[in-house]
Structure 1
Amino acid sequence: MSSDVRIHPQPSADRQARISDRRSRSTGLVAGVALCVTGSAIAMGIGRLVPAVNPMLIAIVAGALVANLVTVPGWIRPGLDFSAKRLLRAGVALLGLQLMFGDVIGLGFGVIAVVVAIVVLGIAGTMYAGKLLGLSWSQRVLIACGFSICGAAAAAATDGVINAKEEELLTTVALVVVFGTLMIPTIPLLSTLLGLTDRQAGMWAGGSIHEVAQVVATGGAIGGAALAVATVVKLARVLMLAPVMAYLGARARRDARGGGTSATHPPLVPLFVLGFLACVALRSSGLLPEAAIAGAKLAQTALLTTAMFALGLGVRVSLLRSVGPRPFVLAALSTVWVATVAFVGVLLVA
């Protein structure tokens, strides 16, 4: 009697390794995102208890504290990268729902021209100063866009286009936190000493401070009238993210063609920037009910806070020591330069 014995081949060692690697990455992805979501929830809870402090700033600082006080396991890196990149881009896109084209147009041609000048001259001046300091092109671009447009979100968005080194992005994020936070008490104090009106002080805050959250904190410290104009001016700067990313995308495509590589060319305008513009257009259409706008704002805050916690986890004291003093010098120069351009613009149009 013949026997029909079926022998099932065992997976090869390479296949087993690939399966194990995929499982490990999936586990790291879930665990890393879970850690960042937990950090975000804590930061948002503290933000509710202390409304004067924005949860995104709390998340960056909390992430940095965790990174420097405990050892973050390397196997959760996929989740940290997903939070710092994918979730951040989704949050930046949803940020468009907080802005209407009518708000920007309502500022008037003079203020719009000042906003454009702040971003263009801010980036150009920072790039030139960074070149004199001998910093790499990518480090200069990250600081220039972060300090001239919208802080850590702009820096991370720029990194998505130019693929800078990780330590360059994390250094920029840390510098945004340090110098942007220093601006919160500085602008109200200088505005009082210089005799600026609330509207002028609000315009100056919105035109010179790095993060949206930092602008809100500063505008609230000056007064209600200042807060309104500061927020709109700042969001107008955020809107400049689209043309700047389009320029960097075009440059990256040109460099890829010039290098003769067969790799896929980067998109001319990143998808999340198109999403941001689409959200601005949707909000401007007036079709969204207030409940949907409020829900989107909560989601946007949660996404950006989660991303900021992930970025904060990469900010280590040893890293900041290793990069040397030159990025700090450029950050100081950029802060003063952007604030000076904004101040002159305020005096000219307000």
Structure 2
Amino acid sequence: MTTATRSFAPPAALRFAPGLALAAAVAAAATAAARLGWLQANGISALTLAIVIGVVAGNLLPAAPLAASADGLNLAKQWLLRGGIALYGLRLTFQDIGHVGLAGVAIDAAVLSSTFALACVLGTRVFGLDRTTAILIGAGSSICGAAAAMATAPVVRGKPEQVAVAVATVVGFGTVAIFLYPALFHLIALVHPLSAAQYGLWAGSTIHEVAQVVAAGHAVGDAAADTAVIAKLVRVMMLAPFLVALSAWLARTGARHAARARAPITIPWFALGFVAAAGLRSLDVLPAAAIAVANTIDIAVLAIAMAALGLTTRLSAMKAAGLAPLGLGATLFAWLVVGGGAINWAVQALG
């Protein structure tokens, strides 16, 4: 190849353009659809729609454009995802912890740890899932739905189909929670009335997605929604230490199974970025307009990452997983509703 020919070769970075453009188009469609009244009222977020539309498009588009988009899609679902999770910390402040008190923090921690432990044990021993899928479903169920499953994927090196199965499972049951929790609130009130704060704490500590918590909270009232969102944000804040602890656990168990020296612990940089962003927000030095812009950018980045995940997911691989993920998701959902309610009652009673 001559020098002249080489000079006209496209820059290496251009190989990412088709995939990023495709993921961005899907994300834009999802963002527009999420503004529709019914979807918005029922807590169906742009992130959820991005992966759904992405899965449909990825399985209908011809192989040639998808192959040309591979590099950009991989970039989006890996690096854009990590950056989006780090930026997500700007939605939280450490002061949020004070609004729910030590009891709220204890409830969130107990719900998170018990749900994740159940997922790891039942997922592999009862439902026969591989450990990675069980961990992803457990993370999504115990922390913050699709975002937690996506954030956990790089730590466990989850495959696109494993992540898609986990996201579909937790989003599905989280959507059921939007309608179930208000109904249970009114049913329980016939026997033992719940205050708005008690309901909000229960909903925030056990429902999967932030958007779903907002919808379920507002179905009962503004006071319930406020408490629910704060409890949920405290639970989301536990994502970073969870990822670090998970990395340490995987390193230890991986070394033991390999019968060699302990593997090094990998601290996810995006988890540290998440904490740093929350710390910056807690200092109250950023203008409200800047935070609003950052949050808008963050949703766009995460939506593109979700779209890329969907576009690289094959339905045949999801079908091969069978009903086991659904069974695990249903079991964890039942635990969140009943066991999470018992944890709420016990901690508040002891307090």
Query: What TM-score range do you get, normalising by the shorter chain?
Result: 0.7 to 0.9
> Unpaired segments of 5 or more residues in structure 1?
1-8
TM-aligned CA deviation for residue 128 of structure 1: 1.7
TM-aligned CA deviation for residue 10 of structure 1: 6.7
Aligned length: 332
Shift in CA distance, 222/61, structure 1 to aligned 2, threshold 3 Å: farther
Equivalent residues in 2 for 1:80-91 (5 A)? 80-91=73-84
TM-aligned CA deviation for residue 64 of structure 1: 2.5
C-alpha separation in 2, matches of 1:309 and 1:117? 32
Equivalent residues in 2 for 1:118-267 (5 A)? 118-130=111-123, 131-195=125-189, 196-254=194-252, 259=258, 265=264, 267=266
Shift in CA distance, 309/166, structure 1 to aligned 2, threshold 3 Å: closer
Aligned match for 1:307, one of 305, 310, 318: 305
Secondary structure (helix, strand or coil) at the match of 1:107 reads helix
Aligned match for 2:292, one of 258, 277, 294: 294
C-alpha separation in 2, matches of 1:314 and 1:176? 19
Secondary structure (helix, strand or coil) at the match of 2:95 reads helix
Secondary structure (helix, strand or coil) at the match of 2:69 reads helix
TM value normalised by structure 1: 0.86
TM-aligned CA deviation for residue 257 of structure 1: 5.4
TM-aligned CA deviation for residue 266 of structure 1: 5.5
Shift in CA distance, 43/147, structure 1 to aligned 2, threshold 3 Å: same
Q: Could you tell me which residue of structure 2 aligns to residue 6 of structure 1?
A: none
TM-aligned CA deviation for residue 260 of structure 1: 8.1
Look up the equivalent residue of 1:43 and give its one-letter code: A
Shift in CA distance, 181/69, structure 1 to aligned 2, threshold 3 Å: farther
Q: Does 1:65 align with 2:56?
A: yes
C-alpha separation in 2, matches of 1:96 and 1:49? 27
Is 290-299 or 126-135 further displaced after alignment? 126-135
Look up the equivalent residue of 1:76 and give its one-letter code: S
> Unpaired segments of 5 or more residues in structure 2?
none
Q: In the TM superposition, what whole-angstrom CA distance separates every residue of 1:278-312 from its partner, at most 9, and x where no partner exists?
A: 01111111111111111111112111222222223
Aligned match for 1:105, one of 76, 93, 98: 98
Q: Does 1:273 align with 2:267?
A: no
Q: Could you tell me which residue of structure 1 aligns to residue 33 of structure 2?
A: 46
- Asked if the contact 2:161–2:314 (Cα under 8 Å) also holds between the matched residues in 1, the reply is no
Q: In the TM superposition, what whole-angstrom CA distance separates every residue of 1:210-250 from its partner, at most 9, and x where no partner exists?
A: 12222222223332112211111111111111222111222
Shift in CA distance, 68/287, structure 1 to aligned 2, threshold 3 Å: same
C-alpha separation in 1, matches of 2:316 and 2:268? 32
Q: Could you tell me which residue of structure 2 aligns to residue 30 of structure 1?
A: 17
Q: Could you tell me which residue of structure 2 aligns to residue 76 of structure 1?
A: 69
Is 331-340 or 314-323 further displaced after alignment? 314-323
Secondary structure (helix, strand or coil) at the match of 1:194 reads helix
C-alpha separation in 1, matches of 2:162 and 2:275? 27
Shift in CA distance, 132/260, structure 1 to aligned 2, threshold 3 Å: closer
Look up the equivalent residue of 2:32 and give its one-letter code: G
Shift in CA distance, 10/266, structure 1 to aligned 2, threshold 3 Å: farther
RMSD, aligned α-carbons: 2.7
Is 69-78 or 101-110 further displaced after alignment? 69-78
TM-aligned CA deviation for residue 83 of structure 1: 1.6
Q: In the TM superposition, what whole-angstrom CA distance separates every residue of 1:89-110 from its partner, at most 9, and x where no partner exists?
A: 2121111111111111221111
TM-aligned CA deviation for residue 261 of structure 1: 8.6
TM-aligned CA deviation for residue 60 of structure 1: 2.3
Secondary structure (helix, strand or coil) at the match of 1:222 reads coil
Q: In the TM superposition, what whole-angstrom CA distance separates every residue of 1:22-55 from its partner, at most 9, and x where no partner exists?
A: 97x7444211111111222222223334343422
TM-aligned CA deviation for residue 339 of structure 1: 2.3
Is 64-73 or 291-300 further displaced after alignment? 64-73
C-alpha separation in 2, matches of 1:27 and 1:304? 21
Shift in CA distance, 256/265, structure 1 to aligned 2, threshold 3 Å: farther
- Asked if the contact 2:96–2:233 (Cα under 8 Å) also holds between the matched residues in 1, the reply is no
TM-aligned CA deviation for residue 189 of structure 1: 1.3
Q: Percent identity?
A: 38
- Asked if the contact 1:170–1:314 (Cα under 8 Å) also holds between the matched residues in 2, the reply is no
Secondary structure (helix, strand or coil) at the match of 2:158 reads coil
Look up the equivalent residue of 1:54 and give its one-letter code: S
- Asked if the contact 1:146–1:176 (Cα under 8 Å) also holds between the matched residues in 2, the reply is yes
C-alpha separation in 1, matches of 2:59 and 2:173? 20
TM-aligned CA deviation for residue 67 of structure 1: 2.7
Shift in CA distance, 112/104, structure 1 to aligned 2, threshold 3 Å: same
C-alpha separation in 2, matches of 1:79 and 1:204? 41
